[in-house]
Amino acid sequence: MEGEPFIVGFASTHAEKLSVGDANDLLQVLGWMPQDEVSFAAMCNDPKDHRLLARLCVELAEDTGGIIDFHGALGIGPHVDGETPGKPVRVSKPEGLDGVLWATAYKTVSGSFATGHYGDAAFVRSWLADPRFHMVK
């Protein structure tokens, strides 16, 4: 769309590139390791752009059986922030929403740990209908 630029990227996933910083955490909560990565980025910040970005992610996740990496923490769900990484967490039906939400920790540039959330397609579809919906930007 004119005036609403989006970026798409493709890559093979390597453990050292994962945003969680620790591939073992992701393997532990998912039970499998992603092999490929498709990235979407909205270079615009209107609520409709957040929704379009989420719908793109959902369609691809449904078609491929993949998950959606939010590259940060949502305003809901479990958090594993702090001075130590904490254990990864898997929550079914977080706060009454459909689907599954995972939380893992990644090391920030300051050396502390922050939450990285992942969701399945069912969660993101349900999250889209929630008044608190947003994509991490």
What digits encode the pLDDT tens for the residues 69-97? 898 899 899 888 777 777 888 999 999 99
- Asked whether the whole model's pTM tops 0.85, one would answer no
Q: Say what the pLDDT of residue 21 is.
A: 47
What are the DSSP E strand ranges found in 52-137?
68-69, 89-92, 100-107, 113-119
Lowest mean pLDDT among 11-20, 24-33, 36-45, 53-62: 11-20
What's the pLDDT score for residue 20?
Answer: 45
Q: How far apart are CA 123 and CA 132, in angstroms?
A: 13
